[in-house]
Amino acid sequence: MDQTTPAPPDGTVAVAIAESVTEPVAVALAEPVAVSLLEPINVTAVTTTDRGRPRVRKILRTAGSIVLVAAIFGFAVPHFASYRSVWASTNAMSWPQVLLVAVAAVASMASTWIMICSVLPSIRLREAAVVNLGSNAVANTLPAGGALAMGVSWAMLSSWDVSTAQYVLYTLVSGIWNVFARLGLPVLALLVLATAARPGAGLIAAAAVGLLLLAALAAGLGLLVRSEAFAFRAGRALQYAAVTGCRLARRRATFDVPGSLLGFRRQAGALIAARGWRITVATAAANLTLWLVLLACLRGVGLSQAQVSWQTSLAAYAFVRLLTVLPITPGGVGITELGLIGILAVGADHQATAQITAAVLLYRAVTYLPPIPLGAIACLAWRYAPALIHADPAPR
């Protein structure tokens, strides 16, 4: 998971949490989050007749992710350039170029912390940093680690007196805005790329799909916030779909989706009215600064504007961000690298392809790897030295 995602905000949260409770560690971390997220929608029972099925699915999904990542880095990436040429391109970077990449990576992380504070104004920047780094460390290292990452973030925020309602609202609103950003980026990239070159059919299709979905979701959210009648009707439709899905999956569940949407409408409406523009600007900045890291890596390995324009890099970044909405591998590892290399290396010669491969792998290294050790340090500091993070920690 990259820095633009403070906690797994996609629509598979409840499923991920429910499947993760088959593991003892997942129970310890994810159970409070499951309760906090599911209580507002009044789920009274979710059972399965075969408790071995979630474990088998998780094992198969983990094995599939490992095989896919191994195939990408073992066969697909070397098809573009050898790792020896990649190392040579990276090793040729000067210190100013290395410093440029490092500054861009730090700015990207800091912009994500600011985004978290924009949705949760009750926490400070250093607390947002600890939550983001801790949850990313889990999400980037464990297959389907989204549920555990939410458990980590909830445990930290609840220790700082963030209520269940605040956490649920933060998760949903930040998730919605993150989806808006992923859908809107291809449209922005298409407009920008049109000033430098003729956009490809893939980007045009992605931009069209993103624009349609963005317009539909924005209109739906607007109606949900403004109209109580629409929220109730939408809740009834979702209620029917949820019950039908549970029946098909042979799971017993009762939902009060209309009541949940009405509650979300009241809370989200107040938050959006007070801080909507601030959340929008912070989310856009977090996504664009992550792209600037990619651009800094491309320039750092020696690729000029003539070889890979900034417009093309933005288009590739936007397309891959949209492609990795579904969490197939932890943090999109493998898929992101292959997608960026495949798009940026179109029409490039052998040397430029090696430099592009080096830049993409460097970009992923500086955005994917640092949160792992930093997140471990953040978790240790939160657990054993809470006063360094929060001046008046709540009693455990």
pLDDT value at 233 more than 80: no
- pLDDT of 70 reads 86
User: What pTM, to 2 d.p., does this model score?
Assistant: 0.74
pLDDT value at 221 more than 70: no
Mean pLDDT estimate for the chain: 75
- pLDDT of 46 reads 40
Q: At what angle do helices 13-20 and 52-71 cross, to 10 degrees?
A: 110
SS3 content of the chain, % helix, strand, coil (to 5): 75, 0, 25
Q: If pLDDT is split at 50, 70 and 90, which confidence band does 260 have?
A: low
Q: Which of 115-129, 162-176, 253-267, 305-319 has the lowest mean pLDDT?
A: 253-267
Q: If pLDDT is split at 50, 70 and 90, which confidence band does 202 have?
A: low
C-alpha closest to that of 144 among 242, 52, 25, 37:
25
Q: Which of 52-61, 71-80, 301-310 has the lowest mean pLDDT?
A: 52-61
- pLDDT of 362 reads 95
Is 308:298 a contact under the CB 8 Å cutoff?
Answer: yes
**Interval 298-315 mean pLDDT:** 90
Tell me which of 309 and 142 has the higher pLDDT: 309
Q: Cα–Cα–Cα angle for 288, 128, 148, nearest 5°?
A: 95
- pLDDT of 292 reads 95
170: Cα within 13 Å, side-chain hemisphere: 28
Model pLDDT for residues 356-365, shown as the tens digit of each residue: 999 999 999 9
CA 373 to chain centre: 19
Is 147:17 a contact under the CB 8 Å cutoff?
Answer: yes
Distance, CA of 325 to CA of 214 (rounded, Å):
14
> What phi and psi values does residue 284 have, to the nearest 5 degrees?
-65, -40
C-alpha closest to that of 136 among 329, 374, 357, 349:
374
pLDDT value at 338 more than 50: yes
Positive/negative CA dihedral, 160, 165, 166, 172: positive
- pLDDT of 131 reads 92
Percent of the chain past pLDDT 90, that is, above it, reads: 22
Model pLDDT for residues 170-192, shown as the tens digit of each residue: 888 888 888 888 888 888 877 77
**Interval 265-284 mean pLDDT:** 82
pLDDT value at 254 more than 70: no
219: Cα within 13 Å, side-chain hemisphere: 6
Q: Which of 60-69, 83-92, 287-296 has the lowest mean pLDDT?
A: 60-69
- pLDDT of 300 reads 92
**CA 9 vs CA 16, 253, 265, 329, 382: distances in Å:** 11, 23, 18, 16, 23
CA 97 to chain centre: 27
- pLDDT of 16 reads 36
C-alpha closest to that of 117 among 27, 6, 201, 222:
6
Count CB neighbours of 351 within 10 A: 13
**Interval 232-245 mean pLDDT:** 64
